[in-house]
Chains A and B, each alone.
Chain A
Amino acid sequence: MIEARDVSVSIGHNRIVSEANLAARPGEVTAIVGPNGSGKTTLLKAICGDLPYTGSVAINGRDVARTKPWELSTLRAVLPQATSLSFPFTVREIVRLGTLGGRTGALAGEDDRLPERALAAVDLEGFAGRFYQELSGGEQQRVQLARVLCQVWAPVLAGEPRYLLLDEPVSSLDIRHQIAIMEIARSFADRGGGVVAILHDLNLTAMFADNVLVMHRGRAAANGAPQEVLSDDVLEEVFGCALRVGLAPRGVPFVLPQSVFA
């Protein structure tokens, strides 16, 4: 489990995150939602160990601040919002970087073919020989996801669950690939791993998340199952617009932006 307790982050004199709590359990997709500037990415960076914070963050019981980079890299992989490169790497060379730590969890001898398999998973078969810099933003994002998948190819390694931390994984993708990528996250969780994803799309959140943390002005405004958290009151308070939440078949909430006119 990834457990963040009373995490606060200040950058300069500004307190970006205040006493946020998050529990991301293996087997679940945990979504972090909230308006721009509400501290979602900052909280995720604290969980990754990228920013100094007060409070505590632990992955499978290990304190993030006191664990070495190589050990953390065997427990979790992180997808950044966007990655630009200055050197002409091929797509395969980028994806292969995911195997750098050597703890992919793939079967012996499978590591060599892992980049191709990861690329196939993100629907980029045949892109291995292309230059990363020549791809569109959405394709680059999927290449990075393939790299991240290589790093924790097995969701559970030596009995320990591993985690995907995704910062806006579907932000520049078309609708088909948004769903495809969320299904990859879902399947990773179903096979015993854990997923923490920052999402902007409330409908994708409702469809795929088991657990939703709503951030508002650096604080956790609500936390729970999508059906509990995605309510008219919470959305109005957090996003400041009068949205009406509907219920789709199978009890999945949905939000139409048109509802503000109702």
Chain B
Amino acid sequence: MAMEAVPAAGDIVSGRGAGDRSGRARLVIALLGALLAIIAVFSLATGASDASAWGVIVDLVRGEAADSALSQRDRIIVYDIRLPRIAMGMLIGAALAVSGAVMQGLFRNPLADPGIVGVASGSGLGAIATIVLGPTLLAPFVMVLGTYALPVAAFIGGLATTLVLYRVATRRGQTSIATMLLAGIALGALAAALGGLLIFIADDRQLRDLTFWQLGSLAGATWTKILAAGPIVGAALLASPFLARGLNALALGEASARHLGVPVQRLKHVAIVTVAAATGASVAVSGGIGFVGIVVPHLLRLAIGPDHRYLLPAAALLGASLLLLADAVSRTIVAPAELPIGIVTAIVGGPFFLWVLLRQRGIVDL
């Protein structure tokens, strides 16, 4: 079983209330909330147009007041381009980080991440299938669901992958880390192969849609897309706090969690659906954005401990902040062109993941 590296103990070891990190966790959550607000305003005010931060805030507060501090052109940029993009970034960042944290809690394993164990690939397959087969085989599905077709298909793909993964990796209430990672590789490869097959039969226009989707960018964020993915992500985020106490108990193992009174089967079902929904919706709108789900919960466990009551909301806030930062980097570093955001998170997240592995190599029994 993998062990999360133990942080330097420091001030929580001794004294009254020793070992109780809830006070610190609440403080960190408040700070993260403030950080997110600052980053959001900062993102709103940066970009190719020179609308100033102050002007934007004044305008937002005043609404449609006549003596606006912004020009008409700046207003369009802020309301129709930057604002949906920031809303989308926060939504996706929170979804990725929370789905990572929930999945790690479910598998009792700090290395579980939808991107690593094939769930994101499964969601991707669902998305590709909708784009390629939408006009033909899946026409009724697309017709009924409209703009929701893509996120729902990605959700179904992610759900199927998570269910298979859990079945394969868990036996008699114990999850094997090696089986989980290897099964994840197999499922990811299978999903990628099926996706490749679909791309092979796609026509030119579909190929262009696929390429834009796969690049994993927030550039295409529109209010329509947010309305499509938002409810699914929102439901997953709202469900996650109700999982927190159960996931804490589950850290002791399935049997011990049940002995503590947790309805383990229901907890697992809700957790799997939550992970699949959050991953599916984010993959549908922004392609593959890797490593947020593993980096954010890991950093937070070092800072406030693994108690999911605090970890989940903190992960939502930090995930949203980090994705906004990554997006800011992606649209400024090679301006006026844009780097796909997935590249930015992978460049930072890949080495981080290796660092986590190296630090705990001795205690991960692979």
Contacts and interface: CB of A to CB of B under 8 A. Distances in A.
Contacts of B4: 86-88
B19 A87 contact: no
Interface string A76-99: 111010011111111111100110
Given A80-B255, A100-B249, A129 B260 contact: no
Contact of B251 (A80, A85, A98, A134): A85
B260 A97 contact: yes
Interface string B305-318: 11100000000000
Given A87-B306, A92-B19, A128-B18, A151 B253 contact: no
A130 B255 CA distance: 25
Interface in A116-169: 126, 128-131, 133-134, 151
A48 B110 CA distance: 29
A45 B258 CA distance: 12
Contacts of B21: 90, 93
A83 B301 contact: no
Given A86-B251, A87-B251, A69 B13 contact: no
B259 A93 contact: no
B260 A83 contact: no
Given A90-B12, A129-B13, A97 B252 contact: yes
B110 A130 contact: no
Interface residue range, chain A: 35 or more
Interface string B28-64: 0000000000000000000000000000000000000
Interface string B268-302: 00000000000000000000000000000000010
B295 to A, nearest CB: 16
A86 B260 contact: no
B146 interface: no
Interface in B160-190: none
Interface string A25-43: 0000000000000000000
Contact of B19 (A74, A128, A151): A128
A70 interface: yes
Secondary structure call for the A interface: mixed
A50 interface: yes
A204 to B, nearest CB: 24
A223 interface: no
B217 interface: no
B258 A74 contact: no
Nearest to B260: A100
A93 B18 CA distance: 10
B351 interface: no
Nearest to A77: B259
Given A93-B19, A129-B12, A133-B6, A84 B261 contact: no
A173 interface: no
Interface in B1-20: 1-7, 9, 12-15, 18-20
B258 A50 contact: yes
Given A86-B110, A93-B21, A100-B249, A73 B6 contact: no
Nearest to B11: A129
Contacts of B258: 49-50, 69
Interface of A: 45, 48-50, 68-74, 76-78, 80, 83-94, 97-98, 100-101, 115, 126, 128-131, 133-134, 151
Interface of B: 1-7, 9, 12-15, 18-21, 108-110, 245, 248-249, 251-253, 255-256, 258-264, 301, 305-307
16 contacts: A45-B255, A69-B259, A73-B261, A80-B253, A86-B3, A86-B110, A88-B7, A89-B305, A97-B252, A97-B260, A126-B18, A128-B20, A129-B12, A131-B9, A133-B3, A134-B6
Given A76-B259, A78-B256, A129-B12, 18 more contacts: A48-B255, A48-B259, A69-B259, A69-B262, A70-B263, A74-B261, A80-B253, A86-B109, A87-B306, A88-B301, A92-B18, A93-B305, A93-B306, A100-B261, A126-B18, A129-B9, A129-B18, A134-B6
